[in-house]
Each structure stands twice: as structure tokens, then as C-alpha cells.
Amino acid sequence: MCEPTTWIMIGGMVLSAVGQQQQGQASKKAAEANAKVQLFLAEDAEARGEADVASQKRVTEAAKGSQVAKFGASGAEINTGSSLEIIADTEEFGKLDELRIRSNAEREAYAYRSAAAIGQSAGINAARSANLTALGTVLGGASTVSGKWQVFRADNPGSTWRDFLGNNAVSRDFQGRVIRNTPLTG
């Protein structure tokens, strides 16, 4: 008969394998949830960037308007000479600020998207690793049961797998001595 320790070992092996798979799936789901957050943050960075660009445009236009008003109040010609150059410089620096703001927002969004992709890959790899670990657990357990089966067959020539799992055979104690089993039913 298959002694209780074999049944306990088989049960532990199955529970361990199932637990490993569940852990892998949980890691994958957590990574997917984190990736969704990262993608949301990427979209938010782009939206904030566009809002900051619009704000910068208003600041630039206000500065140009103030310059035009001051030049006009002083009697300077605003469409020629240094007045025109100053206003053009203000507009150019404003455009450069807009490009910098947009570029920073795009880099921030890219970083979030990269983190999301890395997280998703890590989740997939965690699930795959858990499946392989569970398979290793099952194979290791099967090897142990197979070893016990070989010992059982040596002690019980002509026995079958059903005999191994049933009450019709002998088994060994912890010191390897043969024990005759008494059927549990009867």
C-alpha cells in the first residue's frame, strides 16, 4: 500500500504547483495594473505639456503686447529697427520655450510608456516562470513517486499501480525494513 507520506507528498506537490501558478498570475495582473497606471500618467504628461504650451503662448503674446505698448507710448516705430527686432526676439524665445515644454512632456510620456512596457514584460515573464517552476515541482514529485514505485515493485513482484495505491502489498518503515500491511477495510 502507498503509505500516507506518499499521499501527503503528492498532495503537497499539487498544492505547491497550483500555488506557484497562482502567484505567477497574480504577479502578471499586478504588472498589468501598474502598466495601466503608467499609460495614464503618459497621457497626463502629454495633456499637461499641451496646457503648458498654451500657457506659454499667452505669456509670450502678453510680453509682445506689453513691448508694443511701451514702444508706442515712447513714440518708437514698432515695425522697423530695434523695436521690431526685440518683438521678433520675444516671439522667437517664446517659440523656443514652447518647443522645450513640449519636448519635456514628450520625454516624460515616453518614460512612462517605457515603464509600462517593461512592467508588462515582467508580468508575462513572472507568469511564465511560475508555470515552469510549477512544472518542475510536478516533475520532481513525479520522480519521487516513481522512485517509491520502483521500491514497491521490488518488494512486491508482479504488483500493479493499483496495488501500489491500494492495500494489497507491503511497504517499508523509516529504516527500510519491510512491513506487511493490514488492510484498512474489512
- What is the average pLDDT value for the chain, to the nearest integer? 85
Whether the Cβ atoms of residue 90 and residue 60 lie closer than 8 Å to each other: yes
Render 106-125 in DSSP notation, one character per residue.
Answer: HHHHHHHHHHHHHHHHHHHH
CA contacts within 13 A on the Cβ side of 183: 5
Q: What is the pLDDT of residues 114-123, one digit of tens each?
A: 999 999 998 9
pTM: predicted TM-score of the whole model, two decimal places: 0.66
Q: What is the C-alpha R_g of the chain? A: 38
Structural domain contains residue 80: yes
What domain range includes position 85?
4-180
Structural domain contains residue 24: yes
Structural domain contains residue 127: yes
Structural domain contains residue 185: no
What would the mean pLDDT of 4-23 be, rounded to a whole number? 82
Structural domain contains residue 54: yes
**Whole-number pLDDT of residue 181:** 54
Structural domain contains residue 186: no
Alpha carbon 54 to chain centroid, angstroms? 36
Q: What is the pLDDT of residues 43-55, one digit of tens each?
A: 999 999 999 999 9
Q: Which run of H or E residues covers position 180?
A: strand 178-180
Structural domain contains residue 73: yes
Structural domain contains residue 154: yes
155 three-class SS? helix
> For the chain, what is the domain count?
1
